[in-house]
Structure 1
Amino acid sequence: MTIRVLIADDQMMVRQGFAVLLNAEPGIEVVGQAVDGADALERTAELAPDVVLMDIRMPRLGGIDATRGIAGAPGSTTKVLVLTTFDLDEYVYEALRAGASGFLLKDASAAELAHAVRVVAAGDALLAPNVTKRLIAEFSRVSRTPRPPGRERLDGLTERETEVLSLIAQGLSNAEIAGRLVVAEQTVKTHVSRVLVKLALRDRTQAAVYAYESGLVRPSGY
């Protein structure tokens, strides 16, 4: 099946550049472009793309609010992949909390861009460990006010599910978790699914954010 993509960015050259790169990839089609967050909401409702490439800083309505609107729309299956120029941008963290399925630096290669779109479209989360953990650590540094999302929800997890959640937050893939726990990868997938259901989370990215915000996992040095 063809992955349908909407590109939301206020810079026309960025939109067109990404469109050229993605349309050259097999199985990916750019079905529309949006000039800001408000336009992205309208175009998403109209086109129902599989993935929205969402810039953070845009006029009229920013990417965070647009992401929240898309992710929170009833029955929405559209995934949001945040685009950013900075790998330590607290706004990206806020976008993940708003429901984005991952983020990608704007200087990513064509191959990285296509891979990110495919990963997110498949229902997985794009978690780059070297960037995500630094991002959360930076957010912790600039915002000392704790915002626990209800740690009591962790009580519903089994010991193994809690362990899997902790490893997700560290950026490990299913295969890496399977190797760490010496279990089959399919077993890990089952644990991940149960964690998401029990915690009422959208995907692995929200699971990682929840693990940090609940205090289950702490950024290095905090």
Structure 2
Amino acid sequence: MELEKGSSFTQIPWQIYRPNAILQELYSGDYKLDESDNTYIKYYEINDKKAKGVSCFVPLETPHNVPSERLNGPEIPYYFLPEGSYLSEGLALIYTHRMKLRFPSGDQGGLHFVIAPTKRMKKEQYEQTVKELDWQLCTIKVSAEMDELISRDDDLEGVEDFRMNELYWLMEIWHAQATNAMDRLHANDIHTWISLDKPSFQDLILHEARAYIVFSILARMNSSIPVTHVTELMYLGDILGELDAFEWKK
């Protein structure tokens, strides 16, 4: 299944999933404030390749709900929008990139989308509009429930840019401490992408969707790391400084 980046839909083309969709509050990476009036959020043209919005995904392999002894703890409530259902006025589903995920049952792919605002609205209105979509409860089990990310001895062989080694390690830390299930899926994707594709830091910069996700995660991580964790803070500083130069805040 191949899609062009920025492909957009108002009718759901495939069954699409989001963890904790009905209760999940917005995070800073889920929206941008309107620079002219920060009581409103930025909205986008329906085919804007740089649109920001809440994350959701389409698993590509089946079965994608194989239980494992590595999945434990309270089950994450997952929801899906049925194929053929429509988004509310003022929302669009926009494709960003293909995810690479590792599960105890094997490697899997997924299509990552954002549900982006296409009309002027306040943050609270956008959040409520997303929550009130036709979400259906399901029992999918995904890597968000894993105790830790899957690592292999050769994961970093061929990864020549040390900043990507730093990012690989930071994603393991973030996955362990994150409380947001979608954040853990993003950590899985970045971690697996580094392991399989051996990208350089320049590859990350050029991959706008992943670069934005990394910046959003690390900015939140940076605010919560104790000052005594010198190595983590140094790694965060290395990567955030580079990304900040490319204005990912904007």
TM-score, length-normalised on structure 1?
Answer: 0.27
Whose RCO is larger (CA < 8 A, sep 6+)?
A: 2
Larger strand proportion of the pair: 2
**Which structure's residues are more often helix, by fraction?**
1
